[in-house]
Structure 1
Amino acid sequence: MPLYIKDPEVDRLTEELISITKTSKVDAVKEALKHEIAKRRAALPLRERLAKSLAMAREAGPFAPGDHKRETDEMWGED
């Protein structure tokens, strides 16, 4: 569904951002939304930000035993 906002303040703010960034209305709104989303995500508690990584680590299971330094060196062709 397309975004349609009929609000004079939103229009004024959009025009101000366009004049600062010298970009299109679509790009200005898109970048403003991306910026706000990133800001809100960064404000989440660390536990919430790491939840996906923690779930992936649990799913992967414990780290396999072995000489990982030697294996990495062999993979890169180093002694």
Structure 2
Amino acid sequence: MSLYVKDEEVNRMAQRLAAIQRVSKTEAVRRALEHELEREEQTPTLVDKGLAFARALRASAGPNAGRAADKAFIDDLYGEL
């Protein structure tokens, strides 16, 4: 199967990378795509980032985390006895 690059700038970048790496243009594109796929697969998803944030927030909450919001709690917030 062939891959045709119609964009001249992309073609020039592929030629430049191939020259730097001293490989064929096809090999340079293959390596670049492999590298980009690996990078994307290692990037945490938005769900992963959200879970990490929630875990960090819970860890930093301290010993009073999840304390019931009863009258004593509210009074304590306002400094009332």
TM (norm. structure 1) is 0.52
Q: Which runs of 5+ in 2 are unaligned?
A: 49-81
Greater radius of gyration (CA): 2
Alignment deviations for residues 36-66 of structure 1 (CA, whole Å, 9 cap, x no partner): 000101113395xxxxxxxxxxxxxxxxxxx
Residue 12 of structure 1: aligned partner: 12
Task: State the shift of 1:24 in Å.
Answer: 0.5
Residue 39 of structure 1: aligned partner: 39
Task: State the shift of 1:8 in Å.
Answer: 0.7
Supply the AA of the counterpart residue of 2:7. Answer: D
TM (norm. structure 2) is 0.51
Structure 2 counterpart SS, 1:6: coil
Task: State the shift of 1:3 in Å.
Answer: 1.6
Describe how 1:1-79 pairs up with structure 2 within 5 A: 1-45=1-45, 47=48
* Structural RMSD (CA): 1.7
- Cα distance in 1 between the residues matched to 2:8 and 2:44: 31
Residue 65 of structure 1: aligned partner: none
Aligned length: 47
Q: Which runs of 5+ in 1 are unaligned?
A: 48-79
Q: Which stretches of structure 1, 4 residues or longer, exceed 3 Å deviation after superposition?
A: none
